[in-house]
Amino acid sequence: MKVEDTALEGVKIVTPDRFGDARGFFSETYNQRRWEEHGLPSFCFVQDNHSLSRDIGVIRGLHFQTEPFAQDKLVRVAHGSILDVAIDIRRSSPSYGRHVAVELSAENGRQLIVPKGFAHGFCTLEPDTEVLYKVTNFHSAPHDRGLAFDDPDLDIAWPIAPERAILSEKDRRWPRLRDLAETFA
């Protein structure tokens, strides 16, 4: 297993080992003991989510949940590829408002740890992309929040022009970071 730090503390890229042969490959995508051996947090995942995006340029996010339903996430791609983005929304953090963007794909096997206090979203790079993510808290609609994916203050270099992005109506209505009423301390 390979663990890489990113420019944001707590956001890490984890690439599990793959063991391949003529049939394909096998990989342990999560093993708590191995994570502890690599100094990673010991998460208690309580829910797995799976999304399918049919088209290139689907943007899901930028999502987070407020306390007491904040979530740590472990994100990976089962089919296709995405540009995965995590934004620090902890007001007291020296990296507040900064983001990291990482390409995750079924081929590269990379996973992204997105801790509590970060907004998360992705853009599909291939058709029929399937994203799986484990979370440490249950979904709670009253605590569900988000940020505008095209907030110029975030300066995210999405791989698609904003006017061509495919979003849900809900994701089109999120506020900019500067207008966010509730964030993390």
Which residues are known catalytic residues? 63, 133
- Cis preceding-peptide flag for 62 (omega within 30 of 0): yes
Closest CA to 88 of 30, 11, 178: 11
User: Rounded to the nearest 10 degrees, how much is the dihedral formed by the CA atoms of 162, 149, 102, 31?
Assistant: -140
Of the candidates 181, 36, 65, the residue with the CA atom closest to the CA atom of residue 133 = 65
Cα 42 from Cα 16, distance rounded (Å): 16
- What gap in Å lies between CA 112 and CA 104, rounded to an integer? 8
Q: What is the DSSP letter of 148?
A: -
Query: What residue ranges in the chain does DSSP mark as E strands?
Result: 2-5, 12-15, 19-21, 24-26, 47-53, 59-65, 73-79, 81-88, 99-105, 111-114, 118-124, 129-135, 144-146
